[in-house]
Amino acid sequence: MSEALFPRSTLPAPPVFNPWRLSVAPMMDWTDRHCRYFHRLLSRHALLYTEMVTTGALMHGDVPRHLRFNAEEHPVALQLGGSEPADLAHCARLGEQWGYDEINLNCGCPSERVQRGSFGACLMAEPQLVADCVKAMVDAVGIPVTVKHRIGIDKTESYGFVRDFVGAVSEAGCRVFIVHARNAWLKGLSPKENREVPPLRYELVHRLQREFAHLTICVNGGITTAQQIGDQLQHVGGVMVGREAYHNPWSMAGWDEAFLGAPATPLTRESVEAQMCDYMAREAAAHGTPWSAVARHMLGLRHGLPGARRWRQVWSDHTLKVLAPHDVSALAHDAIPRAA
């Protein structure tokens, strides 16, 4: 499998262990603990990120609901949204107490709701505040504190802007920066448009890695293929893949061997689906979680295969919610030959 997907001649040499070499992006409404459990079946070593959790949600809400995760998810990082150093320090401590491997500060989300809370991408305009937030978290925990951000905000396309941001924040103790290689336009574009309209400028991220050679600079944005991952790893310390990992999760199946210096785990789509059915049954018994809340994350598992659309339709059919997950799986597979 891996030889066909990842030709050996194009692969970079395995590095000294670097937990940020390949990761799956934090994605709101998607990368919950069920999604991360699914992704962990496909890659044993890629770093996984939570959805963004705001400091307000942790300080005034249901902490277990926001922070509970499966032990199998390690390595897993908690992404926080906030702009008050003391609040972030408190929430970082909670993350460490719950067992997360890393705390990440969101300085890249452009949504208006996030802007109203004075965090996300708008924080890039206040590098000293970000540095204060990072310093508070670094002082509070013993695990890495990282920052995810854009290359700029609005129409400011100067390399000096992002260089100075990284420089100021790194002085506060941040050693890993995950850089979405697009500007964030704070007005006039939706979050979806902000992932598509501002041009990708990978060269700025590569320049950051050259200039800050003592830091780990990871690139994010528009990376969808193994070839692109390998190409980017020639220039930066890590690659973060976003929506491609969600919509075409089987693309992750060769990551460990190809990029992370680990032996391939024998996998088939059917074996992964069967393990997810076992997980759905356990979740229902332990927490009353309906299987549909879990199954929605694996609907891309058969992406590109004959009959995939019918298989997805069965797994999306909520009238089947009274059935056990393995029974739904059997119905989904029975539907494939008729659709193929």
pLDDT digits 0-9 by tens, 255-287: 999 999 998 788 999 999 999 999 999 999 999
Main-chain dihedrals φ then ψ at residue 108, nearest 5 degrees? -130, -15
Smallest CA-to-CA distance from 141 within 117, 119, 173, 118 is with 173
Q: How would you class 289 by CB atoms within 10 Å of its CB: exposed for 0-12, middle for 13-18, buried for 19 or more?
A: middle
Exactly one of 35, 91, 109, 218 is catalytic; name it: 109
- What the block records as the tokens of 264 is 């391939």
Digit-coded pLDDT (tens) for 75-133: 999 999 999 999 999 999 999 999 999 999 999 987 766 656 567 889 999 999 999 99
**SS3 for 111?**
coil
Report whether 73 contacts 37 (CB < 8 A). yes
Distance CA 282, CA 326 (A): 12
Name beta bridge partners: 216: 176
Name residue, tokens 């790893």: 233
Q: What are the tokens at 94?
A: 């909670």
> How many residues are present in the chain?
340
Backbone angles phi, psi at 261, to 5 degrees: 65, 25
- Checking if the pLDDT of 1 tops 70, the result is no
Answer whether CATH 3.40.50.150 is correct for domain 17-259. Answer: no
301 pLDDT higher than 90:
yes
Query: Could you tell me the two tokens for 315?
Result: 């797994």
Phi-psi region of 288 (alpha: psi -120 to 50; beta: other; left: phi over 0): left
Calculate the average pLDDT of the chain.
Answer: 92
pLDDT at 189 over 90: no
Residue 109 is among the residues annotated as catalytic for this protein: yes
Q: Is the dihedral of CA 2, 7, 8, 10 positive or negative?
A: negative
Binned at pLDDT 50, 70 and 90, residue 336 comes out as very high
Task: Please compute the mean of the pLDDT values over residues 300-324 and round it to a whole number.
Answer: 96
d(CA 253, CA 269): 10
Cβ-based neighbour number of residue 327 at 10 Å: 12
Check residue 113 and give its pLDDT: 65
Q: How confident is the model at residue 3 (pLDDT cuts 50, 70, 90)?
A: very low
Q: Where are the domains of the chain?
A: 17-259, 269-339
pLDDT (mean) for 193-211: 92
CATH topology of domain 269-339: Four Helix Bundle (Hemerythrin (Met), subunit A) (1.20.120)
* Nearest C-alpha neighbor of 183 from the set 197, 165, 198: 198
Confidence of residue 9 (pLDDT cuts 50, 70, 90): very low
Calculate ∠ Cα 33-224-263, nearest 5°.
70
Q: What band does 6 get if pLDDT is binned at 50, 70 and 90?
A: very low
